[in-house]
Structure 1
Amino acid sequence: MTKQERTNHMTSCLFKRFAFSTAVAATALLGLAQSSQAQGAFSPAITVNDQVITNYEIEQRARLLTIMNTPGDAITVSREQLIDDRLKIQAANIVGVVAQEEGIQSGLEDFALRVNMNPDEMFKALASEGIDEETMRDFIVSGITWRAYVQARFGGSVQITEEEIDRAVASNTGSGGLRVLLSEIVIPTTPQTMAQVRSLADQISDITDFDDFAAAARAYSQAPTKDDGGRVDWMSVTNLPPQLRPLIASLSPGEVTAPVPLPNAVALFQMRRVEESDRRAPNYAAIDYAMFYLPGGRTPENLAKATELAGRIDRCDDLYGIAKDLPPEQLVRESQAPGEVPRDIAIELAKLDNNEISTALTTQNGQSLVMLMLCGRTVELGEELSREDVAGALRNQRLENYSESYLSQLRAEARIIEQ
């Protein structure tokens, strides 16, 4: 194989792993490139506490996000991520937290392994798409630095009890067939409203009364369950995303979770009832699901269309017939490990049985209604989690909540000027 053929092969592997949509990417990035040329690639586009983000950095991050198949408009997400990155690095540097070269190299190796490459091969593949090595390094450095800072700042505040571990072990292993009856509140966020929403969510998380939570759901939630006070039907805890199981299983009736960050939203869950039985509930190795996008968002016409389509199909394979003459990106089918399913999607799938449909979600900024269908769950036959694993998952979830809350505070206090 020639050097050029090897580069092409690596790029192909990268695309297959990240499901790159060339038509969408080309349109978005062409517009960004033209804008950058008009304004000057290295001209300031955003200033964050007197630190500059250039047009070129935004274009580079957008290219990387597109290759990674990150949901939403690549340009918008790029700008928001780079603002957050500046805030994270600034906060960490104030207390002397700096990413070490050894950690950076380890992060690059881990990332490259996801696409079956080594770092050098990955950099060559990215270069063929116009993405600089420094762009990937900056992406990795931000994550490493922020995790170290959050651990240093908040790690001592996280205390996990033995009772919480006991309940979480049951939820992860299926021991005792743990079932939960929950209520939910899902509050949309934008970068501009994040601080206010987090403040509201923190207040809701202190609720212990069922009627008060139901009233808050009717007032603030945008989930389809809002009119019913956020009430969700019985479900097995093993249906929930792995990251949420310890958090949910540790609740007593009436208690509410800390705010749970979702893409463009914050969620809270109240425990109404919990049941244990002798029947063992399974763990799942993979979740097979389909997403059929209806452009135009959550309109009465799209909701009616989704209802009409749901009446015509019995299983996920039937969606291919409906989508055969449509653009390929309008129907997406995935089979992922539970921990890899995006959290907002995973929460909706937890409510569904095989071949049931949810219309609770939209794409970023509400541009399309997502007709989400559960195709099936593959039972896992592996070993049970250890208590140390479960305690670690509980700890990481709480640190993530601290992280999201503090980043919102940094954003609210920052001087951010967008050109």
Structure 2
Amino acid sequence: MQKFLTPRMNPLRRVLRHWSKPICLMATVGLLGLASEPASSQNLFAPAIQINQEVITRFELQQRELFLEVLRFPGNPTEVARKGLIEDRLRQQAMKEAGFEVPPEGIQQGIDQFASQGNMSPEEFIQALGQAGISEETVRDFIEVQLGWRDYISARFLSRARPTDAEIDRALGRGSGGGIRVLLSEVIIPVTPQTVDQVDEVAQQIASLKTYDDFSQAAAQFSASDTRNNGGRMNWLAISSLPPALQPLILALNPGEITDPIALPNAVALFQMRGIQEIATGTPRYSSIEYATYFLAGGRSAEALSAAGQIARSIDTCDDLYGVAKGQPETVLDRVTAKPSEIPQDIALELAKLDPGETSTALTRNNGQTLVLLMLCNRTADLAQDASREEIANALTQQRLQSFAESLLAQLKADAQITEK
């Protein structure tokens, strides 16, 4: 898995990286072109592929392929470039036939958002792309097709994509319809101030993986969670047991898809969906969760992990930790009772995997210098709603819009006349 270790990311690549996931979700692989090495002028703009009545030139293919290579985009650059450009043309043709256009101010807003991802002004962003050989017109055309397709799909299918109240209740684990449970794999990568750039790069490459096996290999190499010994594979979890902020992100995944990297205290998390099921009986919800954290110096050193393991084997309940902490500063042990929505996200995620009396050593504090021995004490059942109904509704809507978009694109491709020159 050393293939994930690559040089530090520059600002321009960081900008493009932030757009890669939404593009993949709503538009498969639609990427802007990058100017390539000089080519023979008589062949540069010769048609390479005809799609219905429109063509893709060799120059466009050359730009797209080089751009994919620069970003180290997964897959064969030639094949991915060809596929992406064909799909872009099909999207443009569908929007043109429907009379759908993106107003100039919408394109400018897209450029502004694009630039802001890398802490750049729009002018700096355009200039940086120009230095790489990309014209402003190319940038605007790219953003226009991406934003246009997103808005076109929303305008065409939104009324059919909105979930009913009953469907939202099921997703929340309420009502007679039961709830939803998910089967996930995880990668939890520790972060220190010295490793933040490297971890950011590794996490982005893991987010681009396409197979379950590759994700499992990444978990085995990089994850700090106990699940790394099982390729990152977790057991079935009720969606309501996950941190409220994480639930919409998970519900938006289709099997095989991976979340964007999620920032946690001293760590970055990624999740891959392996399965999702609606269950007949309601899933329990909790008004409060009680847990204890015992802090050990040394971070994830072998000594600290060994000491934490010995403590974990010697205790059965949270009360036993008071004996372990006896004679030490009060700050070494913290016992908390809180609403699920008030628990730090990294702690909430680990607690979701535990039964009362079980422990985890996946977390750190103090910039990775302090190891956390986390123990679940108790959960108090309640039917109170933690996740926002609006968040769940939006996640379900986006998931369905994505499905409509993929189906429409597949239909357009099946009906099109595509000829290689």
TM-score after normalising by structure 2: 0.51
Question: What's 2:302 paired with?
Answer: 300
* Runs of at least 5 residues in structure 2 that lack an aligned partner in the other structure: 1-115, 124-146, 398-421
Equivalent-residue separation in structure 2 for 1:246 and 1:259 (angstroms):
15
Question: What's 1:342 paired with?
Answer: 344
Question: Equivalent of 1:215, from 202, 214, 217?
Answer: 217
SS in 1 for 2:314: coil
TM-superposition CA deviations, 1:220-266 (whole Å, max 9, x none): 33333223221122222221101111211232221111211111222
SS in 1 for 2:226: coil
Question: What's 1:256 paired with?
Answer: 258
Shift of 1:393: 7.8
Equivalent-residue separation in structure 2 for 1:382 and 1:261 (angstroms):
27
SS in 2 for 1:339: helix
Q: How does 1:363-402 map to 2 (within 5 A)?
A: 363-382=365-384, 387-391=389-393
Question: Equivalent of 2:329, from 327, 330, 334?
Answer: 327
Question: Equivalent of 2:273, from 261, 271, 274?
Answer: 271
Shift of 1:198: 3.3
SS in 2 for 1:366: coil
- Larger displacement relative to structure 2 (385-394 or 334-343): 385-394
Equivalent-residue separation in structure 2 for 1:219 and 1:382 (angstroms):
39
Pick closer, same or farther for the CA change 1:370–1:386 going to 2, 3 Å: closer
Query: Contact (CA 8 Å) 2:184, 2:233: kept in 1 or not?
Result: yes
Query: Contact (CA 8 Å) 2:251, 2:395: kept in 1 or not?
Result: no
Alpha-carbon RMSD across the aligned residues, in angstroms, is 3.7
Q: How does 1:171-182 map to 2 (within 5 A)?
A: 171-174=171-174, 176-182=178-184
Shift of 1:273: 2.0
Query: Contact (CA 8 Å) 1:173, 1:385: kept in 2 or not?
Result: no
Equivalent-residue separation in structure 2 for 1:222 and 1:305 (angstroms):
16
Equivalent-residue separation in structure 2 for 1:381 and 1:197 (angstroms):
38
Equivalent-residue separation in structure 2 for 1:226 and 1:385 (angstroms):
28
Question: Equivalent of 1:188, from 187, 190, 193?
Answer: 190
Q: How does 1:118-133 map to 2 (within 5 A)?
A: none
Query: Contact (CA 8 Å) 1:164, 1:250: kept in 2 or not?
Result: no
SS in 2 for 1:358: strand
SS in 1 for 2:172: helix
Greater Rg over alpha carbons, structure: 2
Q: How does 1:131-210 map to 2 (within 5 A)?
A: 162=162, 169-174=169-174, 176-191=178-193, 193-210=195-212
Query: Contact (CA 8 Å) 2:209, 2:215: kept in 1 or not?
Result: yes
| Aligned AA (2:335) | R
Paired-residue identity, %: 47
Query: Contact (CA 8 Å) 1:290, 1:374: kept in 2 or not?
Result: yes
Pick closer, same or farther for the CA change 1:274–1:364 going to 2, 3 Å: same
SS in 1 for 2:256: coil
Equivalent-residue separation in structure 1 for 2:165 and 2:207 (angstroms):
21
Pick closer, same or farther for the CA change 1:349–1:164 going to 2, 3 Å: farther
TM-superposition CA deviations, 1:377-410 (whole Å, max 9, x none): 1222336877435346889xxxxxxxxxxxxxxx
Shift of 1:169: 4.8
Question: What's 1:135 paired with?
Answer: none
Equivalent-residue separation in structure 1 for 2:270 and 2:261 (angstroms):
5
SS in 2 for 1:381: coil
Equivalent-residue separation in structure 1 for 2:165 and 2:205 (angstroms):
26
Question: Equivalent of 1:238, from 240, 245, 252?
Answer: 240
TM-superposition CA deviations, 1:353-390 (whole Å, max 9, x none): 11111111122333222110001112223368774353
Query: Contact (CA 8 Å) 1:172, 1:245: kept in 2 or not?
Result: no
TM-superposition CA deviations, 1:181-237 (whole Å, max 9, x none): 211112233456545533433332233311121122233333332232211222222
Query: Contact (CA 8 Å) 1:168, 1:250: kept in 2 or not?
Result: no
Question: What's 1:402 paired with?
Answer: none
Pick closer, same or farther for the CA change 1:285–1:181 going to 2, 3 Å: same
Question: What's 2:364 paired with?
Answer: 362
Question: What's 2:400 paired with?
Answer: none
Equivalent-residue separation in structure 2 for 1:295 and 1:380 (angstroms):
37
Shift of 1:294: 1.8
SS in 2 for 1:329: helix
Pick closer, same or farther for the CA change 1:196–1:388 going to 2, 3 Å: same
| Aligned AA (1:172) | L
Equivalent-residue separation in structure 2 for 1:365 and 1:220 (angstroms):
18
TM-superposition CA deviations, 1:103-123 (whole Å, max 9, x none): xxxxxxxxxxxxxxxxxxxxx
Pick closer, same or farther for the CA change 1:263–1:333 going to 2, 3 Å: same
Pick closer, same or farther for the CA change 1:163–1:204 going to 2, 3 Å: farther
- Larger displacement relative to structure 2 (326-335 or 210-219): 210-219
Query: Contact (CA 8 Å) 2:289, 2:339: kept in 1 or not?
Result: yes
TM-score after normalising by structure 1: 0.52
Query: Contact (CA 8 Å) 2:252, 2:395: kept in 1 or not?
Result: no
Pick closer, same or farther for the CA change 1:92–1:255 going to 2, 3 Å: closer
Equivalent-residue separation in structure 2 for 1:310 and 1:250 (angstroms):
36
Query: Contact (CA 8 Å) 1:164, 1:249: kept in 2 or not?
Result: no
Question: What's 1:7 paired with?
Answer: none
Equivalent-residue separation in structure 2 for 1:330 and 1:210 (angstroms):
39
| Aligned AA (2:290) | D
Equivalent-residue separation in structure 1 for 2:362 and 2:265 (angstroms):
14
Query: Contact (CA 8 Å) 2:295, 2:371: kept in 1 or not?
Result: yes
SS in 1 for 2:282: coil
Question: What's 1:288 paired with?
Answer: 290
Equivalent-residue separation in structure 1 for 2:232 and 2:178 (angstroms):
26
Question: Equivalent of 1:227, from 226, 229, 235?
Answer: 229
SS in 1 for 2:287: strand
Query: Contact (CA 8 Å) 1:241, 1:346: kept in 2 or not?
Result: yes
Query: Contact (CA 8 Å) 2:318, 2:357: kept in 1 or not?
Result: yes
